[in-house]
Structures are given as structure tokens and as C-alpha cells.
Amino acid sequence: MKWISGLVLGLIVLAVLLAPVISPAGPDVSSLRHAFEGPAPGHPLGFDSAGRDILARLLYGGQNTLGGALIALLVALALGIPSGLLAGYYGGWFDAAAGWLVNLVMALPAMVVLLASRAILGSTVWVLMVVLGFLIAPSFHRLVRGIVAGVRGELYVDAARVSGLSDARIIWRHVLIVVRAPIIIQIALVAGIAIGLQAGLEFLGIGSGDTPTWGAMLNEAFKNMQRDPVLMLWPGLALGLTSGALVLLAAGLRDTLEDPGSRPRTVTPAVPTAVTPAVTPAAPTAGPGERAALLSVRDLAVAYPSGEVVHNVGLDVHAGEILGLVGESGSGKTQTAFSILGILPETGRVSRGSITVDGTEIVGLPEKRHRELRGTVVAYIPQEPMSNLDPAFTVGSQLVEPMRVKLRLGRAQAVRKALDLLSLVEIRDPRRVFDSYPHEISGGMAQRVLIAGAMSCEPKLLIADEPTTALDVRVQAEVLGLLRRLQRDNGLGVLLVTHNLGVVADLCDRVAVMREGRIVETGTARQVLHTPRDPYTRMLLDAVLPLEVT
């Protein structure tokens, strides 16, 4: 159906654009002796009440009607989409102010405003269409703002932020693509409304009467309904076919865009993916003979409006070691990790303390500087691998984009490196996975993709948040072995956030145990797991099968 409607709409637009070639005469050439005459050689639709050629009036009128609708549509898009993206993504005072203005404009009766505008600005159809564009812009704003507000909390958007991509690039690559299908439908509806309102104004005699439009033709035909009712047919048919074709074409395009299987499997510069690096630094100095910590957290407190959830946390991660941050759900592990990454929720904040990564203090660091550290200094491996990959893009495009931004690689170089990374994380068919969408690969393979993405910009520190939680036991073992090998071969510092003491025993050099937002015990993995000092640590150990620490 979309092909038929597209063909119909294309033929209408083409005929309107070629009006000077197709028309047998100008739209205003009049011969009263031919008034109301039927079809004649060179005049296939006959003549109107003033002896003007109906086909010429129809074609030139289409130029004015469709051109006016296009102006209204462009004004609405220019005002509604950017404001909706910003309001939905950032929220805050801009969202409140834009919402107030949108409600005010939507409360205005469009026809009354257009009539007043005609009295003040004149009857030129182009001016009235600019006013109409302003009146219908709120429909785009509300549509875009509502969708973006829901999308901005998705894990793959956080992953894009942590990978070091700017807000502008995230909005353009990750967020705008989510609203493209609804926007297409809205464009069709708004275009139809603009055409209908313009035709209605002309039909009522409010537009510029000397300019040929489909509405003006309807006005004239209505006046002569009893004399020649066929005059109503041609402009009515043009309006109906155009509006119907717009809606059907938009619906077909929406269905095509929403079907991932119909997208071409090509590498397109795309969205940041679960390649999510993160975190910036602070800087406690090492004492004489001590190694400076790659990550150093001192007296960290994280607060929300309801109160503090992390209290006085201190920990260090050195290059070449794995520190396990252990605790039950709600103990503050993830809040601590998010503080280091700089991706706390909107209402959360670091209320006290210091965080340094590779010697750079990140508490209070401007977002632009913080972003520079992500990817190349700190990387992030999230849990729930499928939720951290954007379903709208191929795996390859999500690996390539951060490398092009952070490492300034050309497309071909980034593609080669992405394929090498997929091989590095032991994916047997890198090209197939590279060209696949996230839903086409398994959870274990998706987790390997996230690890490849985290390694793509050669970071010094990895923060892994429950990287094996969503995987079965066999795949868990494979992923843990992969992490251990990558950490050893690259000399990485790793902060492993987990509740699984088996993972701690298998992977970690040192352990920090958290309870209710506080560190209650730290030490080597062997000491903490075999001779725990804190009752809470002993309780955790009693809840699992006996562990053998290597």
C-alpha cells in the first residue's frame, strides 16, 4: 500500500511542479465565452465560471496549496522537534517553561488566530501558513518530549554517556532515531491538517482571492453548484487524494522503519553502545614507596532528597589488580560505581568526599572534562547486556562510533579494530556478529560485545557491574576467564561490583564488603573469604556453599 500511495503522491507533486509544462494556458487566462464549457481539445477538464482552464487552475493551485502546507510544516518542525528533544532529554527549567508555552499555544483557537492574523498581517497565504506552523508546533513538541523523556533513562543511553559521547551526539544518534517513526506519522497528519485548514480559509473567502488554490476553486465551485456541480469534483479529488496518500505513505514508512529485519545490514556510523567507559579522577598522593592508586575514593557520600545512601566510603584500585566490591542488593555498591562513572540519576549527587581516577579529581569536574576521561581512562561493563545495546543499530556500528569519536579513527580503521576486538573476546565469527542487531545474538555473546566495547579505547580502569548476573553458569565461567585474561594481558585495574562470592573467590585480588552504604571490611580475597572479621561478612559466607580461594 505504501508504494501505491507513494506513487500517487509523487505523481501529484510532479504534476504540480511541472505546471508550466503541462498546463494548456496560464491560470488567470480568461475567456468569458468559454465559461462553464466542458472538455475541449487542449482543455481536458473544461472551463470554470470565468472561462479559465480548470486543469491550469488545478496545477497552479496545487503549487500554492502544497507550498503553503510545506511552509507551515517546516515552521512546526523547526520549533517543535528541537524544543521537544531538549525538554525531554534535560528536563528542568527548560522543560517547565516550554510546557507552559506549549499549553498556552494549544489553548488558542487556531481558526480565530488565523482570522486575526489575516486582519493584522494581510491575506497573503504564505504569511498565514507561517502563523499556522507556529500553532501546530506544540503537537511535535509534545510528541517528541514524551518519547524522549521515556528513552533518556534507558541503559543504552547511559552506556553511550559512559563511552564518552557528547549529549548532542547521543541525542542525534540514540534519541532522535527513536522518535523518527512517530514524527513521520505526525508529519503526514500535520501536513493534512495544514492543507485542510488552508483550503478551509480559501473556501470561506479569507485567503488571497486572486491566487489560485484548491480552496479558492472549491469556493468558486460552491457558488456555482447549481449551474455546474462538476466544478466541485476536481479540487475535492485533489485534496482527498493528497491527504489520503500522505497518511497511507507515512503509515507504510513507519512500519518499515519499525521492522529491524527490513533495514539494510550495513555499517553506519551510529550510536554509542554498551561500549560504556566512564569515570573521572581525583588524587590522593601515595606515600613513600607506595604505588599511586589508579582509582582512589575517600570519604565518599552519595545523597538523594530522601537522605544519604552511601556513607564515608573509601577504597583504592591499583593498576594490575582486581578489587571486588561485595554486598547484598541495596548495600550501595552500584551507587558507588555510578558516582565514579558520573552517571548518578538526576536527583542523586556526591555530597561529600573525593574520587580520583589516574590522578584527576572528578568530584565537581565539568561534564566536558569528565567526558574526556571516559573510554580512554575509564570504561564500564554493565550488567543486563541486551538492555545496554541499542536495538536500532547493528553491533558493529555501536562498536565503531566511540572509537571514531574518542580515538579519531577513520571508518575503515575503526571497522578493522572492532573486528579485531570481537576476535579478542573469543567470538568465533566476528563479521557475522558485527553485522547483527542485538536481538540476533545471544546474551553471552552480547556480554562479550560489551567487554569488547569497553576495551575499544584502551582504558586503564574497568568498572564491571555484575557482568555475569544474567548469564548461565557455563557462560559465566567463560566470561570470567575472558575478563581475567584481558586484565592480566593489559595490566588493567578492575573494580568488580558483585554480590556473588564465587566470582570474588575466582577473580579478585582484594575485596571490600559493603553494608547499608558503608564499607565494613577490606582485605585480600583469601583473608576476607577464609578469616572474615566482620559479622556481616561471616553472614554472607554462611549463606553460600563453601568456597575454595585460589
User: pLDDT (tens digit, 9 = 90+) per residue, 382-393?
Assistant: 877 778 888 878
What is the edge-to-edge ordering of all strands in the sheet holding 349-357? 307-317, 295-304, 349-357, 360-361
Q: Determine if residue 332 is left, alpha or beta; phi over 0 gives left, psi from -120 to 50 gives alpha, anything else beta.
A: left
Residue 549 pLDDT: 45
- Is residue 74's pLDDT more than 90? yes
Q: What is the mean pLDDT of residues 499-526?
A: 88
State how far the Cα of 456 lies from the Cα of 272, in Å rounded to an integer: 12
Percent of the chain, pLDDT > 90?
Answer: 15
CA contacts within 13 A on the Cβ side of 495: 32
At 548, the pLDDT band (50, 70, 90 cuts) reads: very low
CA distance 263 to 260: 5
Predicted confidence band at 432 (pLDDT cuts at 50, 70, 90)? Answer: very high
pLDDT band at 268 (very low <50, low <70, confident <90, very high): very low
Residue in 481, 431, 473, 483 with CA at minimum distance from that of residue 452:
483
Let me know: does 501 contact 461? Beta carbons within 8 Å: no
What pLDDT band is residue 119 in, cutting at 50, 70 and 90?
Answer: confident
C-alpha neighbours within 13 Å on the C-beta side of residue 268: 12
Identify which of 45-54, 192-201, 290-299, 333-342 has the greatest average pLDDT. Answer: 333-342
Mean pLDDT of all residues in 320-339: 89
Rounded average pLDDT over 328-354: 88
pLDDT-based confidence at residue 310 (cuts at 50, 70, 90): very high
Contact 172, 85 (CB under 8 A): no
> Which of residues 467 and 515 earns the better pLDDT score?
515
Percent of the chain surpassing pLDDT 70: 89
Range with the poorest average pLDDT among 104-108, 474-478, 533-537: 474-478
Query: What pLDDT is recorded for position 207?
Result: 61
Closest by CA to 494, choosing from 459, 521, 540, is: 459
Higher-pLDDT residue of 57, 1: 57
Residue ranges of the alpha helices (H) in 165-315?
167-170, 176-203, 214-223, 233-258
pLDDT score of 550: 45
The pLDDT mean for the chain works out to 81
Over range 455-475, report the average pLDDT. 79
Predicted pLDDT at 287: 41
What integer is the mean pLDDT of 314-320?
91
Is residue 262 scored above 50 in pLDDT? no
> Which fold, 295-542?
Rossmann fold (3.40.50)
* Whole-number pLDDT of residue 473: 66
pLDDT attached to residue 283: 36
Residue 19 has pLDDT above 90, yes or no: no
Domain 2-24+50-259: top CATH class: mainly alpha
Residue ranges of the chain that CATH labels 1.10.3720.10: 2-24+50-259
Question: Predicted confidence band at 297 (pLDDT cuts at 50, 70, 90)?
Answer: very high
Range 243-259 average pLDDT: 74
Q: How confident is the model at residue 258 (pLDDT cuts 50, 70, 90)?
A: low
CA dist 467 and 483 (Å) reads 10
Return d(Cα 357, Cα 296) in angstroms, integer: 7
| Listed ranges 126-140, 199-213, 254-268; the one with the highest mean pLDDT | 126-140
Burial profile 339-356: b = 16 or more Cβ within 10 angstroms, e = fewer: bbbbbbeeebebebbbbb
Would the pLDDT of 158 be above 80? Answer: no
Lowest average pLDDT, out of 163-167, 296-300, 339-343, 419-423, goes to: 163-167
Residue ranges, comma separated, of all CATH 3.40.50.300 domains in the chain are: 295-542
Q: Are 117 and 205 in contact (CB under 8 A)?
A: no
Residue 179: pLDDT band (50, 70, 90) is confident
